[in-house]
Structure 1
Amino acid sequence: MTVSRALETKSVEKVWGRETLPAPFNAPEGQRIGEIWFEPPPELPELLVKYLFTSEKLSVQLHPSDAQAPEGSRGKEECWLVLTADPGAQLAVGFTRDVSPDEMRAAALDGSIEQLLAWHDVQPGDFIYLDAGTVHAIGAGLSLIEVQQNSDITYRLYDYGRPRELHLDQGVAIAHGYPQPERLRRHVPDTGEVSLVDGPHFRLDWLDGAPSDEAKARYGDRALLVIPVDAPVTLAGEEIVAGGCGLAASLDDVAFARGGRALIAQPV
């Protein structure tokens, strides 16, 4: 039986993290927090929710699909919702043109892969879905919500000279060497309800207040994750504040603030 509750939070220091975080978050003095993520509950082990905060570029990387992941492992498809963006902040997703495996490898080795990537200026409310094999990088000056398959398999192609392992053989072998389809990028309006993802691995909805009957039908009487963005939600009498994440036995267990924006997510 699923018990609705808040999920445990973990803060992770990163070289590309930030000492000052946007509200409602706070970084301990002297720490560069790059990730705040929520322990996946046993009832929904397939999904992981994170907040990301960047002061520098992240590595150029990609992730395998379920079929490409090592035996016994899950692949990783993910999506980003931009919460805050400094002027000029960018996300790199896919390439500006078709790139062969040999060209991709050579560009990763000499650093010119940065110039081959399609860098997009972003603003709060921009949403991008990353299917497995998409080469990508997160730029500086951003805070994001990331919803993903619960997997830590990352193949780095380029890391700006940082002393971390690269995975050129594995990455180049499965990388999409072409531009990302535009349909995987959109801007989410400030108000209203939007179905952002509906498979193949999870569904994700953006809510402005209580969910519609259509959303209730999609999610049914099954467990889901609730991510309040700018107002608290209540799960079976327990308040989950903005910046938190909760497990709900079903949508019937969740009370949404009027006009408060939230995300809900569920494995397919």
Structure 2
Amino acid sequence: MLLPTKMVEKPWGMDTLPTPFAAPDGKRIGEIWFEPPEQLPQLLVKYIFASEKLSIQVHPSDTQTEGMGLGKQGKEECWLVIDADEGATLGIGFNHQLGAEELRAASEDGSIEQLMIWHRVKPGDFFYIPANTVHAIGGGVSIIEIQQNSDITYRLYDYGRPRELHLDDGVAVSQAGVHDPANRRHLPDSGDVALVDGPHFRLDRVDGQPDAATAARYSGPLLVIPREGAAMVEGEQVQPGSCALAPTIAAVRFAEGSSCLITQPIK
């Protein structure tokens, strides 16, 4: 089943999108969302197209949202870079551990931008962003993001834009340290790759039909996101730029030479 798509205009979006997408004339598209199905409400898949820096922000964990009585899950996410201008960056973590007062002061005076680590990126770079990690998407970057389906975002710094900041909540949930190098990598050109295996979801890149070990890790409903070539889900063709729900991995036929992402929550 193909998931409904929502194209979202943003002032920081792009009017020229990477293949296979196209922005309507006169529109700056910042995000393309795939509506989570009833069977997998825990996950959200979206593409993000940023022509300028997005806010420096942080998300709480499940434990923190429960403790705050928000009635929602927290947010862990991951990014796969699909297109990037020369010199484009993603900001993740800091060059040293910051205390709460140092983080607040840096957010207030703007020095947080210089304290963060900005990774120069290219297509195929992958980053896992645990909850509580301070992060920001730089300009000239297009990514596909797989995340816990949560809208709780605390902005710490927004480059002087007239939007609300959330310093009390943001500082309270931040673990303002160095991003674990184990949570970032560059994908090989081909082959099945296990990208995330918990705690909240699993994610794999598969080239053609997945190998037996990869397929064995998937039980029950999953999402299929073609990147190159196509997949068939219960007789329905799924092309790049789309996302589909499959009842099981056995219900998916991956075209020879295709490259797809597959993901499902871990209950």
Q: Aligning the two structures, in what range does the TM-score lie when normalised by the shorter sequence?
A: over 0.9
Name the residue aligned to 1:16: 12
Letter in 2 for 1:214: A
Deviations 1:89-136 (A, max 9, x none): 100000011211111111111111100000001111110000000000
The 2-side partners of 1:193 and 1:249 are apart by 21
Q: Which amino acid aligns with 1:256?
A: F
**Counterpart residue identity of residue 143, structure 2:** L
Deviation at 1:76, TM superposition (A): 0.2
1:7 Cα deviation after fit? 0.2
Structure 1 length-normalised TM: 0.97
Q: For 1:247 and 1:190, how far apart are their aligned partners in 2?
A: 26
**Aligned equivalent of 2:111:** 112
Equivalences, count: 263
- Cα distance in 1 for partners of 2:182, 2:157 equals 27
Please give the alpha-carbon distance, in whole angstroms, between the structure 2 residues aligned to 1:124 and 1:157: 27
Q: Which amino acid aligns with 2:252?
A: V
Kindly state the Cα deviation for residue 15 of structure 1 after the two structures are TM-superposed.
1.6
Question: 2:265 is matched with which residue?
Answer: 267
- Root-mean-square deviation (CA, aligned residues, Å) is 0.8
> What is the letter of the counterpart of residue 13 of structure 2?
G
Where 2:170 maps in the other structure, the secondary structure is helix
Q: Distance in 2 between matches of 1:56 and 1:133?
A: 23
> Within 5 Å, which residues of 2 pair with 1:77-226?
77-220=76-219, 222-226=220-224
Kindly indicate whether residue 43 of structure 2 is the aligned counterpart of residue 52 of structure 1. no
- Paired letter, 2:227: V
- Give the counterpart letter for 1:127 in structure 2: F
Structure-2 separation of matches of 1:16 and 1:258 = 37
Aligned residue in 1 for 2:59: 63
Gaps of 5+ in 1: none
State the Cα deviation string for residues 221-254 of structure 1 (Å, max 9, x = none): x000000012111111111110110000011111
The answer for unaligned runs of 5 or more in structure 2 is none
Percent of aligned pairs with the same amino acid: 60
